Amino acid sequence: MKIKYFENTDTLYIEFRLGEIVESKDLDENTILDIDKDGNVCAITMEHARDRADIPHFSFEQFAA
């Protein structure tokens, strides 16, 4: 998984998996979901991310199964 934040456009891009994107679905006017040929979510793009996702307070945790 890759997470990228583009400060100049205030855009958050989260890539969950590599794959050829065959469809992009608008969830709302500022959120796009990218889907591969098998229906898997590959990525999500969020505009106006600082207000919508509280970017300055981002953290990541991974737990063992």
**Would you say 44 and 34 are in contact if contact means Cβ atoms under 8 Å apart?**
yes
Round to whole Å and give the CA distance between 31 and 49. 10
Round to whole Å and give the CA distance between 13 and 15. 6
How high is the pLDDT of residue 8?
A: 93
64 falls within a domain: no
As for how many domains the chain has, the answer is: 1
How high is the pLDDT of residue 34?
A: 98
62 falls within a domain: no
Q: Which domain holds residue 32?
A: 2-57
Computed on alpha carbons and rounded to an integer, the radius of gyration of the chain in Å comes to 13
Instruction: Kindly report, residue by residue over 18-51, the tens digit of the pLDDT.
Output: 989 999 999 999 999 999 999 999 999 999 998 8
65 falls within a domain: no
23 falls within a domain: yes
Note the pTM of the prediction, 2 decimals. Answer: 0.83
Residue carrying the six token digits 């794959």 = 19
63 falls within a domain: no
Residue carrying the six token digits 């500022």 = 30
